[in-house]
Amino acid sequence: MAVEFPIFGGCFCGYVKYQISEMPSSVGICHCESCRRIAGAESVGWAVMNKDALSFTEGSTRDFRSSESVERTFCERCGTTLTYHRDGRELIDVTLATLDNPELLQPTKETWCGERVSWNQLNDNLDHFEGSSSS
Ligand SMILES: [Zn+2]
Ligand SMILES: [Zn+2]
């Protein structure tokens, strides 16, 4: 299915809205403990794109450093996890579940499977990596 850009998303309460202007370079599900805890979920789906491809159009976010070089943002009102960004990187990750239509971007891989919760089964149709997909 061809996806027409921009595509749109936002937080749970509707205060923060964003748009994505081009096809992400990768889409995956992360099982790492940081993602799990920050989202309060057993795994988190992310779309990875150029920073310029993401623009916030309404509301405002707050940020939090989950490690020395990683900044994550969330809605300042409802706390929905929205982005992940590593300092100095041209790419930003956006949570798949905050897309208005999460069917538009399909994950192809699962990362940090070494930290996966045992009752959260891997999807056999995806590629699997013990850590990040670049290592
Ligand atoms: Zn919100
Ligand atoms: Zn993660």
Q: Per-residue pLDDT for the chain (135 aa), expressed as one digit of tens each?
A: 689 999 999 999 999 999 999 999 999 999 999 999 999 999 999 999 999 999 999 999 999 999 999 999 999 999 999 999 999 999 999 999 999 999 999 999 999 999 999 999 999 999 999 999 874
CA 6 / ligand 1 centre spacing (Å) = 21
Q: Say what the pTM is.
A: 0.95
Q: Residue 133 has what pLDDT?
A: 86
Are the CB atoms for 46 and 28 separated by under 8 Å? yes
Residue 1, pLDDT score: 66
What pLDDT does residue 60 have? 97
Query: What is the CA(113)–ligand 2 centre distance, in A?
Result: 10
Give the ligand whose atoms come closest to the C-alpha of residue 59: 1
Work out the end-to-end distance of the chain between its first and last CA atoms, rounded to an integer number of angstroms: 30
- Note the pLDDT of residue 2: 85
Ligand showing the shortest atom-to-Cα distance for residue 79: 1
**Which ligand has the minimum distance to the alpha carbon of residue 76?**
1
Domains of the chain are 7-128 (2.170.150.70)
